[in-house]
Amino acid sequence: MNYRHAFHAGNHCDVLKHAALCLILERLKAKDKPFAVLDTHAGRGLYELVSEAALKTAEHKGGVARVLADSAPPASLAPYIEAVARANPFGGLRWYPGSPMIVIEALRPGDSAKFCELNPEERAALETAVGSDGQVKIFDRDGYQAVRAFLPPIERRGLVLIDPPFEKPGEYLRLAEALAEGLKRWATGIFMIWRPVKDAPGWLGFLRAAEGISDTLNVELNIRGPVEGKLTGSGLYIVNPPFGLSASLTAALPWLAERLAIGPGAGWLLQERERAVVIREASGKA
């Protein structure tokens, strides 16, 4: 397990994933009922953008830094921009909040969150960053196994975020199995899967396996056309998306594609499916 998210924190992939995560949490908070979050691949929770690892790649400069540098971002990015600002109480952009930090900031009394992280160093850093209490639990546990062990949550509403590092072959197969298991246990839960735009056959295999799922949102953001060996785009596959998420993402994606573009072929895609039938599709080039 070599993957360290510190090299990538705040890049274009994080912008897409965390902007959507913030929007989902906003929708969950809109109701007065408790919700639960299971973050299967949590990472260290908080990233210092001036650390050696972050400075080596400086990927945040092409991601979150570009978003913050604009004076008129779309309103649907406000929850994301606020989450980043909360991690930097003295202003600037020294810290970048990972998914656990974003989730914890959204919890109200009665809500709960579970985080799984297998890398001991990352888990220790996560424990330091967010701590554990009755409401927040951190596990040294395989995230895919957690989908079987922890669902459904007693709150019966909430989100499962599955954000694997894609460093081993067969990740799409594990994702498809985990999603099927998760939905068997919790048919009404929101599931959000992050993926890199690469390995087209693996992705198509996943889509075939997920064909029977009834309510999904498939989103892609590409900062340029494909380049061998480079990660130029990422996607989100969301099951049971909350009401309004599709519209909010549609409002943000063209702006993000333009703002984060680094070359020809930049663009975005959003595909809404109900009972395996595409009911709305929108896309654009930057």
Ligand X SMILES: C[S@@+](CC[C@H](N)C(=O)[O-])C[C@H]1O[C@@H](n2cnc3c(N)ncnc32)[C@H](O)[C@@H]1O
Query: Which residue's CB is nearer to ligand X, number 104 or number 286?
Result: 104
Please give the residue whose beta carbon sits closest to ligand X in the complex.
Answer: 98
Q: Which long-range contacts (CB under 8 A, 24 or more apart) does 167-170 make?
A: 167/1, 167/2, 167/3
* Cα four-point dihedral sign 229, 176, 21, 54: negative
Question: How far are the Cα atoms of 40, 95, 159, 162, 214 from residue 239, in angstroms, in the given order?
Answer: 16, 30, 10, 12, 8
| Cis bond before residue 152 (omega within 30° of 0) | yes
Write out the two tokens for 121: 């160093």
Compute the distance between CA of residue 107 and CA of residue 128 in angstroms, rounded to an integer.
18
Query: Which residue's CB is nearer to ligand X, number 3 or number 203?
Result: 3
163 given a catalytic annotation: yes
* Interacting residue ranges for ligand X, rule: CB under 6 A: 1, 3, 5, 17, 41-43, 98-99, 116-119, 122, 142-144, 163-165
Q: State in angstroms the smallest separation of the CB of 92 from ligand X.
A: 20
Provide the 8-state DSSP code for 98.
Answer: -
Q: State in angstroms the smallest separation of the CB of 198 from ligand X.
A: 14
From 14, 32, 163, 215, active-site residue:
163
Query: Which residue's CB is nearer to ligand X, number 39 or number 111?
Result: 39
Q: State in angstroms the smallest separation of the CB of 265 from ligand X.
A: 24
From the list 273, 243, 42, the residue with the least C-alpha distance to 137 is 42
For residue 220, give the amino acid letter: E
Q: State in angstroms the smallest separation of the CB of 83 from ligand X.
A: 11
Active-site residue set: 163
